[in-house]
Amino acid sequence: MRKRGRRTFWLVIAGLLLVAAIVRSIFFAEEKLNPLPDRLIPGTYKFVLHDQGQDRVAVVHLPSAVAEGRTLPLVLALHGAGGSGLQFMKAGEWRKKGDDEGFIVIAPTGLPRSLGWPGNFLTNPNVWNSGQFDEDGSARLKIDDVAYLTRLLDELKTRLKFDQDRVYGVGHSNGGAMTYRLAAEHSETYRAIATVAGVIAPSLPAPSQPVPTMYIHGDRDPIMPRDGGESRLQWGKRVTLPVEEYLSQWAEKSKCEKKPQRESAGDGLLRLTYPSTQQGADVSAIFIEGQGHDWPGGRAFLPERIMGPRTNHLNATDEIWKFFEQVTAKEDVKAK
The residue with greater pLDDT, 121 or 6, is: 121
For residue 311, name the pLDDT band (cuts at 50, 70, 90): very high
SS3 state at 101: helix
Separation CA 209–CA 187 (nearest Å): 6
For residue 301, name the pLDDT band (cuts at 50, 70, 90): confident
For residue 91, name the pLDDT band (cuts at 50, 70, 90): very high
User: Do 21 and 43 belong to one domain?
Assistant: no
User: Do 37 and 126 belong to one domain?
Assistant: yes
Query: Mean pLDDT, to the nearest integer, of 90-94?
Result: 97
DSSP code of 59?
A: E
Q: Within 10 Å of residue 29's Cβ, how many Cβ atoms?
A: 8
* Nearest C-alpha neighbor of 213 from the set 240, 182, 234: 182
Separation CA 326–CA 332 (nearest Å): 10
At 69 the pLDDT is 87
pLDDT tens digit sequence for 97-114: 999 999 999 999 999 988
The one-letter amino acid code at 204 reads L
**CA-based Rg of the chain, rounded to a whole angstrom?**
20
At 332 the pLDDT is 66
**CA dist 313 → 131, 221, 319, 331 (Å):** 31, 15, 11, 29
Residue 149, pLDDT > 60, answer yes
**What CA dihedral angle connects 182, 47, 156 and 81, to 10 degrees?**
-10
Q: What percent of the chain has pLDDT over 90?
A: 71
Provide the mean pLDDT of the chain: 89
Residue 335 half-sphere exposure, CB side, CA atoms within 13 Å?
7
* Nearest C-alpha neighbor of 80 from the set 189, 234, 227, 191: 234
Separation CA 177–CA 199 (nearest Å): 5
User: Do 22 and 98 belong to one domain?
Assistant: no
CATH of the domain at 139: 3.40.50.1820
Phi first, then psi, for residue 74 (nearest 5°) are -135, 135
At 335 the pLDDT is 53
Range picked from 95-109, 223-237, 317-331 for highest mean pLDDT: 95-109
Residue 17, pLDDT > 50, answer no
User: Do 298 and 323 belong to one domain?
Assistant: yes
User: Do 12 and 141 belong to one domain?
Assistant: no
For residue 253, name the pLDDT band (cuts at 50, 70, 90): very high
Task: Give Cα 251 to chain centroid, integer Å.
Answer: 19
User: Do 133 and 204 belong to one domain?
Assistant: yes
User: Do 74 and 15 belong to one domain?
Assistant: no
Full domain range(s) for residue 21: 1-30
Helices (H) and strands (E) in the chain, counts: 8, 14
pLDDT tens digit sequence for 154-210: 999 989 989 999 999 999 999 999 999 999 999 999 999 999 999 898 889 999 999
Residue 136, pLDDT > 80, answer no
**CA dist 247 → 15, 115, 214, 253 (Å):** 39, 32, 10, 10
DSSP H/E element including 45 = strand 43-51
User: Do 37 and 26 belong to one domain?
Assistant: no
For residue 4, name the pLDDT band (cuts at 50, 70, 90): low
Phi first, then psi, for residue 148 (nearest 5°) are -60, -50
User: Do 22 and 121 belong to one domain?
Assistant: no
Residue 18, pLDDT > 50, answer no
**Overall pTM > 0.95:** no
User: Do 235 and 150 belong to one domain?
Assistant: yes
User: Do 166 and 223 belong to one domain?
Assistant: yes
Separation CA 82–CA 260 (nearest Å): 32
User: Do 14 and 109 belong to one domain?
Assistant: no
The total number of structural domains that make up the chain: 2
Residue 119, pLDDT > 90, answer no
At 314 the pLDDT is 97
SS3 state at 41: coil
